[in-house]
Structure 1
Amino acid sequence: MVYSTRREFAAAAVPHLREGLAEGDAVVAVVAPAAERLLRRQLGSAASRSVEFIEAGSWFTGPMDALAAYQDRSRRDWWPVGRLRLLAEPVWTGRSELEVCEWKRHEALLNVAFAGTPTLLMCAYDAASLPAHVITDAARTHPDVVDDRGPRPSGRYVDPAVFYAECNARPLSAPPRDAAWRRFAAGGLAGLRAFLAAEAERLGLPADRSLPFVLAVNEVATTVIRHGGGRGLLWVWAEGGELLCDVGDPEGRLEDRFLGCFPPRHYKPGETAMWAVRRLCHIVEIRSGPGGTRVRMHLRLADAAAGPDDRAG
């Protein structure tokens, strides 16, 4: 749903929610506080009490956090009721270029996550404030569009696998020259974990985030040793408010088709490991080709919660 004014937002969102209430759906709105106030006024007190409102800033903390939360809440709370009728407005402001790319990828992945489930999802985009490229790609990640001309097929929708691969087209930059580095192989993981913990402390990662960082890197290194080339090289550094770690496998290849983006349905070492790694990190980038594989893990050095947002308010 693309809108430019509060009236356009309400004209599309309110009927979507009312229809869900009338049909007995689990009706959920993940929106900013201002949008919640608007929707409650339009729906009326009786109807609004039947809608579960979730504050967008606390939900959209990271692409994998949001994707996992959708899956967890749907299975536990929403699908047991019946069909899920969802309205969501992602938070785009205050994001880095990489984060915007990952949130676009997240929007494409929702088509895979909800495929074959009793779900009707409407995503809201504010054309008056968002960059043009975000609106353009929304038409590529959503099969249908609703705007002031009404609902219609997007006409520009692409397969989520294609969009996912496009997000990997940009090569990873080289680690900075002053990045700490270490080689690893079988039998050396204990020393590697000690090295990672020391670097995390030196670079300012809060103590309560050190263990998730060490576990994530250890999972990738273990995968390299057991299922990749058997040895690798890693770099650790801080940049742009994040702790970054590259794990390079010069010989191994990873088939990165949604790797680790969804809970593995059957035990597969690569999928299971990368699902855990993506849950432990803010963003994970994977590049794999004839020259080997590199996995870059991002962890925030400090909280970066989304601030107040007045869209649709």
Structure 2
Amino acid sequence: MPVAGAPGRDGRDVLVHRALVYGTLREFALAAVPYLRAGRREGDTLVVIAAPPVWALLREQFGAGTGARIEFIDAADWFRGPMQALASYYDRMRADWWPRGRLRLLAEPVWAGRTPLEVREWKRHESILNVAFAGTPTSIMCAYDASALPAHVVDDAARTHPELAGPEGTRPSGRYTDPAAFYAECNAAPLSPPPATAARRAFASGELPGLRAFLGAEAVRLGLPKDRSLPFVLAVNEVATNIIREGGGHGSLWVWAEADELVCDVTDPRSALNDRFLGYAPPRGRHRGEAAMWAVRRLCHIVEIRSGDGGTRIRMHVRLP
């Protein structure tokens, strides 16, 4: 995946990624409204992903017919999971938004009610946007309400966005962190071991049908409805298949329920992965591992990878009802 262009450039084919940190709705409007108006003058495709009260504010500013000029999307629907949001960006940008012109996006991610793991993964998502859409006709302004969000979320906005925006204008972020370094920080802490109550099964070549049957039964036993178990089984099967075909040839897995999630660890004790944004972009070549992890991330709520000299552990999270 390429790296985003230098901050501060606003060319038509260079990604612009800004964080709008505001304390009041007036401060929000003083930055967001000129940003959208500039896009309207330049013929950009205008999209707002935010809560309905923000829609009302912007419609009041832009007047009648705003809905015909700006596409409004409910943030609660869009930002259900970091990978789901990223995949939706890929799908809509290519199929709809870019064909109509340069995309100018105003987005306010949902941070309330997130677990610490989800918060970390949403921060990673913000950083990965700089890589995923580098060199594309895209401008993204991400809004952060400093009066409501935890300080660490607001602070890290300066690390995941090359530019900062506000009522006084736009400036480069002096704390912007290279996405590869930020990604590595997110992976710095080791994964906790599976609980003693987790169901365990080893696997090797020729054992995948039995593994799938085991996973399906465990998923239902742990609270995942039978009609929703297939994506979970497919995700784990993809990881196990990749270990058998391209990894160490055999591995083990553990399955358990934790809070409102079904969790599965799959380990390869003999090989390591080059986990540099692995699975965060649609596969472009013939490398099966890239295609497999792209599919796995889309099938799960969150996927964690830890890989090194001791082998690889991939942890998949699926939400329970």
**Structures share fold, TM-score greater than 0.5:** yes
Q: Does 1:216 align with 2:235?
A: yes
Structure 1 counterpart of 2:75? 56
Structure 2 counterpart of 1:173? 192
Q: Does 1:252 align with 2:268?
A: no
Structure 2 counterpart of 1:98? 117
Task: Answer yes or no: is the 8 Å Cα contact 2:28–2:167 preserved in 1.
Answer: no
Deviation at 1:48, TM superposition (A): 4.4
Deviation at 1:58, TM superposition (A): 0.1
Q: Does 1:261 align with 2:304?
A: no
Task: Answer yes or no: is the 8 Å Cα contact 2:30–2:166 preserved in 1.
Answer: no
Q: What CA distance in whole angstroms lies between the structure 1 residues aligned with 2:252 and 2:219?
A: 17
Q: What CA distance in whole angstroms lies between the structure 2 residues aligned with 1:199 and 1:185?
A: 19
Count of paired positions: 302
Amino acid at match of 1:267: R
Question: Larger deviation: 46-55 or 212-221?
Answer: 46-55
Post-superposition CA distance 1:146-183 (Å, at most 9, x none): 12443110000011111111100111000000100000
Structure 1 counterpart of 2:212? 193
* TM-score between both structures, scaled by the size of structure 1: 0.95
Amino acid at match of 2:156: D
**Matching residue within 96, 104, 116 for 1:77:** 96
Structure 1 counterpart of 2:13? none
Alignment of 1:122-201 (within 5 A): 122-201=141-220
SS state of the match for residue 79, structure 1?
helix
Deviation at 1:267, TM superposition (A): 1.6
Structure 2 counterpart of 1:310? none
SS state of the match for residue 69, structure 2?
coil
Change (3 A) 1:148 1:17: closer
Structure 2 counterpart of 1:28? 47
Question: Larger deviation: 141-150 or 74-83?
Answer: 141-150
Q: What CA distance in whole angstroms lies between the structure 2 residues aligned with 1:67 and 1:90?
A: 12
Q: What CA distance in whole angstroms lies between the structure 1 residues aligned with 2:288 and 2:68?
A: 44
Post-superposition CA distance 1:3-60 (Å, at most 9, x none): 0000001111111111111111100000001111111111111344310000000000
Q: What CA distance in whole angstroms lies between the structure 2 residues aligned with 1:230 and 1:7?
A: 59
Q: What CA distance in whole angstroms lies between the structure 2 residues aligned with 1:148 and 1:11?
A: 5
Q: What CA distance in whole angstroms lies between the structure 1 residues aligned with 2:120 and 2:225?
A: 26
Structure 1 unmatched ranges of 5 or more: 303-313
**Percent identity (aligned):** 69
SS state of the match for residue 100, structure 2?
coil
Q: What CA distance in whole angstroms lies between the structure 1 residues aligned with 2:227 and 2:75?
A: 25
Structure 2 counterpart of 1:306? none
Q: What CA distance in whole angstroms lies between the structure 2 residues aligned with 1:208 and 1:126?
A: 39
Structure 2 unmatched ranges of 5 or more: 1-19
Amino acid at match of 2:102: R
Q: What CA distance in whole angstroms lies between the structure 2 residues aligned with 1:149 and 1:85?
A: 20
* TM-score between both structures, scaled by the size of structure 2: 0.93
Q: What CA distance in whole angstroms lies between the structure 2 residues aligned with 1:142 and 1:84?
A: 17
